Amino acid sequence: MALTVLCVSFVLLLVLGVPVAFAIGLSCLATFAVEGLPFETAIQMMVSGMNVFSFLAIPFFIFSGELMLHGGIADKIVAFARSLVGHWKGGLGLANVVASTLFGGVSGSPVADTSAMGGVMIPIMKREGYSAAYAVNVTTHASLSGALMPTSHNMIIYAFAAQGAAGMIAGHAVRGVSIGDLMFAGLVPCFWIMVCMLVAAYWQARKFGYPRSEDGRSMVHPFPGWGTVLRTFVASVPGLFVIAIILFCVMKGVATATEAAAIAVTYSLLLTVFIYRTMTRERLLKSLAKASKTTGVILLLIGVSNMLRYQMAYLEIPETIEHALLTATQNPWLMLLYINIIQVILGIFLDMAAHILITTPLFLPLAMQMGVGPVQFGMMLLLNCALGLVHPPVGSVQFVGCAIGKISIGEATKTAWPYYLAIFIAINLVTYVPGFSTWLPSIITGHRVF
């Protein structure tokens, strides 16, 4: 009964168009009423869900991303990427992939990345002979790497959700997950996604003959020379340096991940005010205000997800799902396939923060029984969530990209399959090849990471 109320009310509210955070909150409250639980407990769980020390990194990473966005770092990265690969066939598409991946690392947020890169690249690409759909798809998909970068606030959310994880992986007792391990674990998959996206973007550009003018002529720019490449690279290095700072702080123990995020903000401020001299008072206030609003939206989602997590635990749903899946199969390959399929379906409805918090307690224990460690599972989960950001109907990154490119969601989705394929390959590599995500952090940290 309670379970029916929970599910039915959630789907109804969502379809009606109630914002996701309120839909989760209201369906939980309805279930609290059915169960006869005092509803202030729901509010308590919401507040305590938001009031987690490691979540302080979330406003900081968002703020630092906003500073980088309004401080014009994006233009410098675009200039570098363009001078490097802009003269090839489909060169702007390739430049966009490189730039989006790099800025993904700087901002740690696919949405910020798409608004930054899209704002600069999509109009240029449209002007210089690429279709809007191509420009939008390249930007949105390459931006997804932001979710796996060290500046990603989603990684912080996952590290928190997985902190109680315990089990035996390959004969080693594993407990919890360290944020430092996770940060390094994302780098190889990110690089791989970039390579896949480059291939997809190049292939599609060849197929459609981009860039081409109205009359069908090809319009490729000449190579600007290595001097320009070097100059634009030097100009964008200070921006990219923020990734290195975070990794350095966490690895060398200067600060915790939370404090590293605060240091990243301080660095972004100093950089845009004193080095780039692009930060005005208005831009600073705007960055602060936008970061506050985004923080509110994300933390409210985190809060209501904690309400839902409580409700699910109370109704013993995780045990039920675990039992059902273990009855369905004992084969690790199949089990991981099922988990990925469910994740993709959930990605349709849920936003990233809610998705991570709700599904980690459901699937991480199962994945660990199948020999997948918490770091590897985190990469799987983040990639699945990232895919949800670019597929309809609720894909916040796709929304932003289409709004900038002034095209409909349907138009973008029609030619998006090569990029979906690229992410699909990445998800499967991460799922079935542990070393893909665990090799680099094991090498760097000097202890085995699972």
Partner 1 sequence: MPWLTALNARLSRWALYIASICLASLLVVVVYGVVMRYGFNDAPPYVEQVALLLVISVAMFGASTGVRESGHIGLDSLVRTLPPKVQFWCKVAVEVLSGAFAVSLILGGIEMALSTRGTTIPTLGLPEALRYLPVIIAGVLIVLFCIELLIALFQGRKVEASWH
Partner 2 sequence: RTFRSADVHNKDFPTNKAVIFMGDQLSKSTGGKDNVKVFGDSALGSEKDTIEQVKIGALDMVRVNFAAFNGIVPESVLPALPFLFRDMDHFRKTMYGPQGDKILAGFEKAGFIGLAIYESGARSMYAKKPIKTLADVKGMKVRVQPSDMFVSMVGAMGASPTPMPYNEVYTGLKTGLIDAAENNYPSYDEAKHFESAPIYSETMHSMSPEVLVFSKKIWDTLSKEEQAAIRKAAKESVPFYVKLWDAQEKEARAAVVKGGATIVPAAQIDRASFVAVEKPVWDKFTPTPELKALVQDIVNAK
Give residues in contact with partner 2 (CB under 8 A).
37-38, 40-41, 44-45, 48, 53-54, 159, 163-164, 166, 175-176, 178-180, 250-257, 309-310, 313-314, 318, 361, 447
Nearer to partner 2, 163 or 292 (CB): 163
Chosen from partner 1, Na ion, partner 2, none, partner binding at 109 (C-beta under 5 to 8 Å by type): Na ion
Q: Decide if 161 contacts 169 (C-beta within 8 A).
A: no
- Please give the residue ranges that form the binding site for partner 1 (CB under 8 A): 13-23, 25-26, 29, 38-40, 42-44, 46-47, 50-51, 53, 55-56, 59-60, 63, 254-255, 258-259, 262-263, 265-266, 285, 288-289, 291-297, 299-300, 303, 349, 351, 392-394, 396, 409
Least CB distance from residue 43 to partner 2, whole Å?
11
Question: Which of 222, 220, 263 minimizes the C-alpha distance to 241?
Answer: 263
The per-residue DSSP string of 190-210 comes to: HHHHHHHHHHHHHHHHHHHTS
Q: Decide if 210 contacts 134 (C-beta within 8 A).
A: yes
Nearer to partner 1, 84 or 346 (CB): 346
Residue 61 touching Na ion (CB under 5 A)? yes
Nearer to partner 2, 2 or 45 (CB): 45
CA distance 450 to 439: 9
Least CB distance from residue 40 to partner 1, whole Å?
4
Residues numbered 108-147 forming contacts with Na ion, rule: CB under 5 A: 108-109
CA distance 124 to 212: 13
Q: Which of 211, 388, 401, 441 binds Na ion (CB under 5 A)?
A: 388
Nearer to Na ion, 107 or 306 (CB): 107
Chosen from partner 2, Na ion, partner 1, none, partner binding at 23 (C-beta under 5 to 8 Å by type): partner 1
CA distance 220 to 90: 8
Fill in the amino acid letter for 75: D
Residue 151 touching Na ion (CB under 5 A)? yes
Q: Which of 65, 86, 90, 180 binds Na ion (CB under 5 A)?
A: 65
Nearer to partner 1, 33 or 170 (CB): 33
CA distance 69 to 123: 17
Q: Decide if 126 contacts 405 (C-beta within 8 A).
A: yes
Q: Which of 186, 395, 401, 418 binds Na ion (CB under 5 A)?
A: 395
Nearer to partner 2, 228 or 256 (CB): 256
Residues numbered 343-382 forming contacts with Na ion, rule: CB under 5 A: 348
Question: Which of 239, 8, 238 minimizes the C-alpha distance to 108?
Answer: 239
Chosen from partner 1, partner 2, Na ion, none, partner binding at 151 (C-beta under 5 to 8 Å by type): Na ion
Q: Position of tokens 């839902």? A: 308
Least CB distance from residue 158 to partner 1, whole Å?
19
3-state secondary structure 369-387: HCCCCHHHHHHHHHHHHHH
Least CB distance from residue 13 to partner 1, whole Å?
7
Q: Decide if 265 contacts 64 (C-beta within 8 A).
A: yes
For 48-67, b/e burial (b = at least 16 CB within 10 A) is ebbebebbbbbbbbbbbbbb
Contacting residues for 310 by C-beta, under 8 A, at least 6 apart: 28, 41, 42, 45
Least CB distance from residue 20 to partner 1, whole Å?
6
Nearer to partner 2, 37 or 344 (CB): 37
CA distance 297 to 302: 9
Nearer to partner 1, 98 or 412 (CB): 412
